[in-house]
Amino acid sequence: MGRSPVKVRARDSKQAWQEDFESSPARDDGIETSTISGIPLKPLYTSGDLPKRPEELPGQYPYTRGIHTSGYRGRLWTMRQFSGFATAEETNRRYKYLLANGQTGLSVAFDMPTLMGQDSDAPTSRGEIGHCGVAIDSLADMETLFDGIPLGDITTSMTINSPAAILLCMYIAVAEEQGVPASTLGGTLQNDILKEFIAQKEFIFPPAPSMRLVVDSIEYCAKEVPKWNTISISGYHIREAGSTAAQELAFTLADGMAYVDACVERGMRIDDFAPRLSFFFDAHIDFFEEIAKFRAARRIWARWMRERYGAQDERSWKLRFHTQTAGVSLTAQQPELNIARTAIEALAAVLGGTQSLHTNAMDEVLALPTDKSARIALRTQQLLAYESGVANTIDPLGGSYFIEALTDEMEKQAESYFKRIEELGGVIPAIEASFFQKEIADAAFQYQRELESKQRIMIGVNDFTVDEEVPIEILRIDPRLEAEQVARVREVRRKRDQARCSKALSELRKAAAGSDNLMPYILESVRAYATEGEIMNTLIEVFGIYTERAVV
């Protein structure tokens, strides 16, 4: 072979770009170019960043590109606005309004006393009744809440955790009264106690009996309410408490595996319950990072379910999730801007392949939404679905150099958290060691520092501020309703069959001390019009309560 003639080789085009980029002027505004969670980003991604792997397709393992073969071509996501306030009667009116405006599923927000398992006439319920959701004390309130809404025709999501089993039983009981068999009911119970210990802090019982109740409800529903999503394993609250996207992803999936472990330990076959596990994520403002998070979540879950847990049923591999846009990204300043923020976040959820979506209303940072702001929020989803064209192509960002690389990065960070959690002995020991709580608090503080130093900008908060705020109309809760709700629960206690109620509660107490599945006992207590507070207090007598070590 002879010497080839010396040629001045043309610069490699990527290298040329790199050199040109480095010599071009850069912005010097001091604003971070990493993701909102701090993942460093390159200015440009190219084919060299594309992971080497067999082509992934929607509806095929590991479902990175979506769990449905037909994406949104087959069916749009469910537009499910979370709503509830004041009394059951008022919330019932709002539900009918939303359904009349084209909403396709209900999602119940309960007030704080209901979430914390106490009746409206408990001393610590004072000032809290009906404020951040609807007050439900007994089956009587639940009957009013769904009055005239046929439970066989809609699906309902209920955001409740410590007392989740009770509220599910109330829903089953209302359905029975409407003549709808439990076996046909569709909907979702949040029922995710682990993220309460980690982030939202609406725990009541200690972790072990809390987990027992979760497993009881999963086991019961697998037989009796087979179309029900028994749990919605939630990253939303973890994120809203200040975590990064990778922490949200990792902690949520770790919780999911902890539930799987607990059910397997109970003796359930994985494919009997795993298809009804569902997830719930936040859609924050950093657009691409969120899309990558959703895609990574599906891939990780599929792999763990198939390879580690040996699930055979494809439905067990598919991570289905609900998304809510990020309440924490909204601002009280110039609140109309929240419509734009929410639209961007909702778009990320849709491009990430969500199964259902809640879009926040612009005034949710100030109070509960008004009819008008609730309608704008819903219309934002309809705009994405019907005007923007984004639902026409399945996983339209699949194959993007950047998205694929970021999806892998999210996956890598999550796997590294799984290792740390395992080293701590699993999710519950990690909770008891305040591991998650500390990680989240650190991330929240870091972000706040970045805002203060203007490395991150929140429009209207630390830049582009205006002096005059335009007052927007907000929804106020009539203070009289507190007394009315207190009177209502007392009347329920007066009117019910006292003997049946006491018997039901005493049998529940006995069962709680043993190892029976508690669902039938709770259902009977509910039917006997035992109040939520009475049922919870009965369980507290046996289970005790949990107190958190406060870490700053």
Partner 1 sequence: MTSTAVRPVRIIVAKVGLDGHDRGVKVVARALRDAGYEVIYTGLRQTPEMVVDAALQEDAQVIGLSIHSGAHMTLFPAVVQELKRRKATDIVVFGGGIIPDDDIAALKKQGVEKLFTPGTPLQEIVDWLKQRFPAEKS
For residues 440 to 479, the per-residue mask of contacts with partner 1, x marking binding by CB under 8 A and - elsewhere, is xx--xx--x--xx-----x-xxx--------x--x--x--
What's the Cα-to-Cα distance from 20 to each of 5, 17, 25, 482, rounded to whole Å?
29, 5, 10, 67
The torsion of the CA quartet 112, 508, 191, 71, rounded to 10 degrees, works out to -130
Closest residue by Cα to residue 330 from 385, 382, 283, 279: 283
Q: What's the closest the beta carbon of residue 242 comes to partner 1, in angstroms? A: 5
Task: Say whether residue 336 binds partner 1 (CB under 8 A).
Answer: no
Task: Say whether residue 84 binds partner 1 (CB under 8 A).
Answer: no
Measured CA to CA, the distance from residue 221 to residue 199 in angstroms comes to 26
Assigned token pair, 446: 């870091």
For residues 403 to 442, the per-residue mask of contacts with partner 1, x marking binding by CB under 8 A and - elsewhere, is -------------------------------------xx-
Q: What's the closest the beta carbon of residue 237 comes to partner 1, in angstroms? A: 9
**Which lies closer to partner 1 via its Cβ, residue 208 or residue 461?**
461
* Number of residues that make up the chain: 552
Stretch of residues binding partner 1 (CB under 8 A), selected from 90-98, 107-115, 220-228, 394-402: 107-115
**Tally of CB atoms within 10 A around 79:** 24
Task: Say whether residue 44 binds partner 1 (CB under 8 A).
Answer: no
Q: What's the closest the beta carbon of residue 234 comes to partner 1, in angstroms? A: 14
**Which lies closer to partner 1 via its Cβ, residue 115 or residue 302?**
115
Q: At what angle do helices 207-224 and 245-266 cross, to 10 degrees?
A: 70
Helix (H) or strand (E) holding 83: strand 82-83
Contacts (CB under 8 A) with partner 1, residues 187-226: 196, 200-202
Which residue, chain included where needed, has tokens 């699993």?
426
Stretch of residues binding partner 1 (CB under 8 A), selected from 4-12, 54-62, 171-179, 331-339: 331-339
Stretch of residues binding partner 1 (CB under 8 A), selected from 93-101, 121-129, 263-271, 299-307: 121-129
The one-character DSSP state at 134 is B
Contacts (CB under 8 A) with partner 1, residues 530-549: 547-549
Q: What's the closest the beta carbon of residue 317 comes to partner 1, in angstroms? A: 33
Burial class of residue 114, CB neighbours in 10 A (0-12, 13-18, 19+): buried
121 contacts 488 by C-beta, under 8 angstroms: no
The one among 11, 53, 75, 126 contacting partner 1 by CB under 8 A:
126
φ/ψ (deg, to 5) at 229: -80, 110
Task: Say whether residue 550 binds partner 1 (CB under 8 A).
Answer: yes
Exposure on the CB side of residue 452, measured as CA atoms within 13 A: 6
Stretch of residues binding partner 1 (CB under 8 A), selected from 19-27, 235-243, 413-421, 499-507: 235-243
**Which lies closer to partner 1 via its Cβ, residue 18 or residue 333?**
333
**Which lies closer to partner 1 via its Cβ, residue 363 or residue 395?**
363
Task: Say whether residue 75 binds partner 1 (CB under 8 A).
Answer: no
Measured CA to CA, the distance from residue 325 to residue 80 in angstroms comes to 12
Task: Say whether residue 127 binds partner 1 (CB under 8 A).
Answer: yes
Task: Say whether residue 242 binds partner 1 (CB under 8 A).
Answer: yes
Task: Say whether residue 67 binds partner 1 (CB under 8 A).
Answer: no
| Residue 542 C-alpha from the chain's centroid | 30
The one-character DSSP state at 87 is -
**Which lies closer to partner 1 via its Cβ, residue 187 or residue 242?**
242
112 contacts 103 by C-beta, under 8 angstroms: no
Per DSSP (E only), the strands in 284-387 are 321-325, 356-358
**Which lies closer to partner 1 via its Cβ, residue 111 or residue 289?**
111
The one among 164, 185, 241, 486 contacting partner 1 by CB under 8 A:
241
Assigned token pair, 261: 């472990």
Q: What's the closest the beta carbon of residue 469 comes to partner 1, in angstroms? A: 8
Cβ contacts of 134 within 8 Å, gap of 6 or more: 84, 85, 86, 87, 88, 90, 91, 108, 109, 110, 111, 114, 141, 145
The helix/strand/coil state of 241 is coil
**Tally of CB atoms within 10 A around 505:** 20
Stretch of residues binding partner 1 (CB under 8 A), selected from 37-45, 142-150, 237-245, 501-509: 237-245
Contacts (CB under 8 A) with partner 1, residues 358-387: 365-367
Number of residues that bind partner 1 (CB under 8 A): 44
The one among 101, 178, 331, 434 contacting partner 1 by CB under 8 A:
331
Which residue, chain included where needed, has tokens 């409800």?
217
Contacts (CB under 8 A) with partner 1, residues 244-303: none
Cα 331–Cα 242–Cα 262 angle in degrees, nearest 5: 135
Task: Say whether residue 340 binds partner 1 (CB under 8 A).
Answer: no
φ/ψ (deg, to 5) at 529: 60, 30
Residues found near partner 1 in the complex (CB under 8 A): 112-113, 115-116, 124-128, 131-132, 196, 200-202, 240-242, 328, 331-333, 365-367, 440-441, 444-445, 448, 451-452, 458, 460-462, 471, 474, 477, 547-550, 552
